[in-house]
Amino acid sequence: MMTETTSYATPQLVTWVLVGIGLYWAYCLYWGIRGYLQTKSAAGWMIAGRNLPVWLFVLAGTATSFSGWTYIGHPGTIQSAGLSYAFAGLYAITIPFTGVLFLKWQWMIGRRYGFVTPPEMYRTVFNNRMLGWMVVVIAFFYSLFYVAVQLIASGLLFNVLTGGFIPYFLGGVLLSAVMLFYVMAGGLRTIAWVDALQAVLLGAGIMILGAAVVNGLGGWGALLGAIDQLPAHFRTMDPHGVIHWLPNWEHPESKVKLWSGMMMMTYMFALAGIQCSPSFTMWAFSNRHPKGMAWQQVVGSGLIIGFILCVFSVIQGMGALTLAQVQGNQAYTKEGLTALITGAGGLGSATDAMVPRLMIDYLPLPLLVLVSIGGLAAIQSTGAPYISSAGAILARDLIGQLFAHRRQVVPHHPPLTLHQLRSDSVQIWWARLFCFLIVMGSFVIAWFNPDLIVMLGGLAVSLSFTLSVPLFVLCYKPAWVSGKALGWGVLAGVIAVFATYLFPEYRYPLTIHSAGWGLLATVMVTFLVSRFAQPTAEEVKFQQDIHDYWRKVDPEAFAPRALAWRRAVPFFAAAWWLLFVGPGIALIGDNMPRVFGLPPLWVWLLLGWVTGVMLLAVMAWGARLSAPPQQMPEPISQEAERTITTA
């Protein structure tokens, strides 16, 4: 029997939602079957044979960067915290920021030396097995935690939109079954084709719901007028609002605001970890040509998604906030949103129910179905590539390394050699098995430890941001940093992330996000160990050979004009990070003049988006950090050449 909170879920609504999602999943299954029939090689399954078309990477890379949290959690947190949290929408700039710095160079080195997985690259370039193992660990935990978040989000979305017709647990099962099928069947090439549609659905869904909210509240002027009636702490950086315990053993009752300038900036470090992740390294390897990278980073992520997040997501969050605070609509209070979830028999925080509530209240049935599919697409678009990349890494870099030294233990059966393991069918079989195990592990975390769900996404990206240090050394060659130092540095960073995230009473010391503490630990330990463990002559020579080759195939990236832009980038980037995702929010944001009736803080947010897109463009094309090279890198060996395939 439906309760009052679920009476909205009419048979017609449930039927149309299920039909729409069924058609969308039929598209996903089609590409899974097609990918299975086409994919014959391990490189084809793991990195699409280095043959993804430019336009396909632009869409797929954008979809992978922005998850179900972007669709559901981000607007909900704006409602909870107000405009101070809306600056998190500038992760449309900070996520591709690290991509501009690192992805092009990884593509060139991957194609040159035939690297298929990130641990192969790190282990070979820095001659350090420990660093390779740390990348395996990060890839595993990254995918495990991030996929758990997506499964919970899908269960919640199904459960609420159907008024409990699809139980909370079953929604996650259905999503994981579809994802597992097309990921295991076709690998990264199939994921790219599915993600291409998901990118369009994600962006369209957020815009449609935002426009519907404006219309439902009486127009643009009515929305801005209602925002002006909100308490000051919801539209300014007033220190009231969202608070968080500051670790203070002498005075544990002391509190500070969570979304301070320092917290926001170091939180953005975590999100910048998305394109430092092992998964994105494999996206880089998969490209036929890197000329799409700058378009994905500057236009797809920065310009288009940035505009959507800084306008339409803010409209959703602040619109729902005015419904609760100004109009007194109890359905949008914390209690009302919680009742929406529990009334349908689900679990989750109140903020996660805000977007489904808006969908139910403000969208006509056809658009509600479309936006529902958009939410599901946002969830799948990140879960699938993380499952695939982790499965590939564990197959090649865990099983491959273990069996390389295996002794014969079964009578009459020869030992499995590394050469045999590297046969395509065996690699793909192991990778598929690990994909299945990762999803099962994510279910265990998601459903048996529900209190951890809120933190899993931030924990995952914070772990991957520790890899920004070895990536910087790889791409920009500080000659004094050794592979051994990087291995210990990344280990210290991972420990720091866990230590500042796992204990709620002492999480985020000094309101610095765990990604900030992880970066600090990685840099400090890398520097200290490098004082005692200098790089070997072999390391130095190999890295010099890499950079000499880059100069040969991409001379314009090292021409005087590009180098002049490159010298200016650190100042531009530092100013932008400090002003728009750092202390400058509090110092300047509230003092901006109103433009078109917008609150000053919203004006500062939009200015941050515009200047952020300019920063990405200067880095990508001016400094040529993401512009395509003049020559295609040639594989250095036949083994490397065999990783370039159409099957």
DSSP 106-142: HHHHHHHHT--SHHHHHHHHHT-HHHHHHHHHHHHHH
User: Is 64 in contact with 279 (CB distance < 8 Å)?
Assistant: yes
pLDDT higher than threshold 80 for residue 108: yes
Write down the pLDDT at residue 338: 84
Angle between helices 453-465 and 514-532 (to 10 degrees): 30
Separation CA 81–CA 48 (nearest Å):
42
Under DSSP, the state recorded for 217 is: T
Q: Which of the four pLDDT bands, split at 50, 70 and 90, describes residue 252?
A: very low
Whether the CA torsion 367, 372, 376, 379 is positive or negative: it is: positive
Contacts of 24 (CB under 8 A, 6+ apart): 201, 373, 376, 377
Under DSSP, the state recorded for 591 is: G
User: Is 175 in contact with 400 (CB distance < 8 Å)?
Assistant: no
Which has the minimum average pLDDT: 216-230, 318-332, 426-440, 442-456? 442-456
Q: Would 146 be classed as within a structural domain?
A: yes
User: Is 176 in contact with 151 (CB distance < 8 Å)?
Assistant: yes
Mean pLDDT of 493-499: 93
Q: Would 646 be classed as within a structural domain?
A: no
| CB-based contacts of 540-548 (< 8 A; 24+ apart in sequence) | 540/479, 542/124, 542/125, 542/127, 543/125, 543/474, 543/477, 543/479, 544/477, 546/109, 546/112, 546/125, 547/477
Q: Would 413 be classed as within a structural domain?
A: no
Q: Would 417 be classed as within a structural domain?
A: no
pLDDT higher than threshold 60 for residue 247: no
SS3 82: coil
Share the mean pLDDT of the chain. 85
Separation CA 224–CA 221 (nearest Å):
5
Q: Which of the four pLDDT bands, split at 50, 70 and 90, describes residue 405?
A: very low
Write down the pLDDT at residue 344: 67
Q: Which of 259, 322, 218, 277 shows the shortest CA–CA distance to 67?
A: 277
Angle, CA of 349, 350 and 356, to the nearest 5°: 110
pTM value? 0.89
User: Is 308 in contact with 62 (CB distance < 8 Å)?
Assistant: no
Separation CA 374–CA 202 (nearest Å):
5
Write down the pLDDT at residue 347: 66
Q: Would 560 be classed as within a structural domain?
A: yes
Count of CB atoms within 10 A of residue 449's CB? 11
Write down the pLDDT at residue 449: 59
Q: Would 436 be classed as within a structural domain?
A: yes
Q: Which of the four pLDDT bands, split at 50, 70 and 90, describes residue 134?
A: very high
Q: How many domains does the chain have?
A: 1
- Residue range(s) defining the domain that contains residue 464: 4-406+423-641
The two tokens of residue 70 are: 């972007």
Q: Would 314 be classed as within a structural domain?
A: yes
CA 512 to chain centre: 20
**Residue 496 is part of a domain; what is its CATH number?**
1.20.1730.10
Q: Which of the four pLDDT bands, split at 50, 70 and 90, describes residue 415?
A: very low
pLDDT tens track for 535-569: 888 888 888 899 999 999 999 999 999 999 999 99
Q: Looking at this protein, which amino acid is placed at residue 524?
A: M
User: Is 347 in contact with 153 (CB distance < 8 Å)?
Assistant: no
Q: Which carries the bigger pLDDT value, residue 609 or residue 371?
A: 609
Q: Which of 202, 135, 177 shows the shortest CA–CA distance to 389?
A: 135
Q: Would 414 be classed as within a structural domain?
A: no
